[in-house]
């Protein structure tokens, strides 16, 4: 199956719509803020046009979504470039890996952000004194 066939408009459009709704800006302002032409978001949401890889990366950055998540939702293969990390996940303890796996099961990006934020606040409050 080629990459074009991997694009599932009926899944991607609601995903992007949820991000746009949560953002609160107009489609035009979001498009321009992501460095795209003024109708980039409208073409995806209203016409179902598949965004380019570059547009996906720009929108992911704007919305605070991992670029590979956005790329995959748009039917593209993830890019190894975005998986590079200074931390080696193989060195994480099993309990840390389990928490990360559970967080990644939360498909709604806004819910996942809230849950992740809550976990971070809890850890910071318990062990660093931040947030007190």
C-alpha 110, offset from chain centre: 10
8 A C-beta contact, residue 53 and residue 71: yes
Q: How many CB atoms lie within 10 A of CB 110?
A: 13
C-alpha 68, offset from chain centre: 8
pLDDT of residue 118: 87
Domain ranges of the chain: 3-78, 89-127
- Range from 15-29, 41-55, 60-74 carrying the lowest mean pLDDT: 60-74
CATH class of 3-78: mainly alpha
59-86 tens-digit pLDDT: 999 998 889 899 999 999 988 777 755 4
pLDDT at 32 over 90: yes
Give the span between the Cα atoms of 34 and 37, in whole angstroms: 9
């Amino acid at each position: 199956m080629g990459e074009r066939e991997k694009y599932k408009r009926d899944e991607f459009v609601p995903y992007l719509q949820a991000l746009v709704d949560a953002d609160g800006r107009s489609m035009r302002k979001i498009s321009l803020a992501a460095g795209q032409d003024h109708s980039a978001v409208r073409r995806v949401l209203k016409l179902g046009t598949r965004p380019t890889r570059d547009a996906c990366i720009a929108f992911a950055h704007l919305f605070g979504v991992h670029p590979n998540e956005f790329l995959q939702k748009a039917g593209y293969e993830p890019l190894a470039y975005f998986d590079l990390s200074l931390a080696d996940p193989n060195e994480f303890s099993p309990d840390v890996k389990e928490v990360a796996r559970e967080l990644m099961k939360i498909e709604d990006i806004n819910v996942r952000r809230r849950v992740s934020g809550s976990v971070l606040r809890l850890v910071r409050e318990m062990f660093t004194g931040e947030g007190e």
